[in-house]
Amino acid sequence: MEDNLTEVPHRPATLALEDGRIFNGRAAGAITRRGGEVVFNTSLTGYQEVLTDPSYAGQIVCLTYPHIGNVGANLDDEEATRPYIESLIVREFSQISSNWRSAETAQLYLNRHKIPAIWDIDTRALVRHIRNVGALRGVVATDGTPADQLIHEAKQLPSMAGQELASQVSCKKAYGWEKSSIELTIPPWSESMGESGRDSETPKLRVVAYDYGIKQNILRLLIDHHCDVWVVPARTSAQEVLDLKPDGVFLSNGPGDPEPIGYAVENIQKMLGRVPIFGICLGHQLCGLALGGKTFKLKFGHHGSNHPVQNLLNRKVEITAQNHGFCVDPESLPSSDVEITHVNLNDGTNEGMRHKSLPLFSVQYHPEASPGPHDSHYLFAKFTDMMKEQAR
Active site residues: 281, 366, 368
Q: How far apart are the first and last CA of the chain?
A: 70
> How far is C-alpha 331 from the chain's CA centre?
26
Tell me how far CA of residue 351 lies from CA of 80, 234, 327, 378, in angstroms: 24, 23, 8, 15
Give the burial class of 319: count Cβ atoms within 10 A of its Cβ; 0-12 exposed, 13-18 middle, 19 or more buried.
middle
Give the burial class of 388: count Cβ atoms within 10 A of its Cβ; 0-12 exposed, 13-18 middle, 19 or more buried.
middle
CA–CA gap between residue 149 and residue 16 (Å, rounded):
9
Name the CA radius of gyration of the chain, rounded.
21
Instruction: Give me the helix-helix angle, 216-224 and 378-391, nearest 10°.
Output: 60
Identify residue 235 by its one-letter amino acid code.
Answer: R
For the stretch 174-201, what's the b/e string if a residue is b when 16 or more beta carbons lie within 10 angstroms of its beta carbon?
A: beebeebbeeeeeeeeeeeeeeeeeeee
Tell me how far CA of residue 124 lies from CA of 61, 127, 130, 325, in angstroms: 13, 5, 10, 20
Do 255 and 328 form a contact (C-beta atoms < 8 A)?
no
Which residues lie closer than 8 Å to 304 by C-beta, 6 or more apart? Answer: 41, 42, 43, 64, 321, 322
Phi and psi, residue 127, nearest 5°:
-65, -45
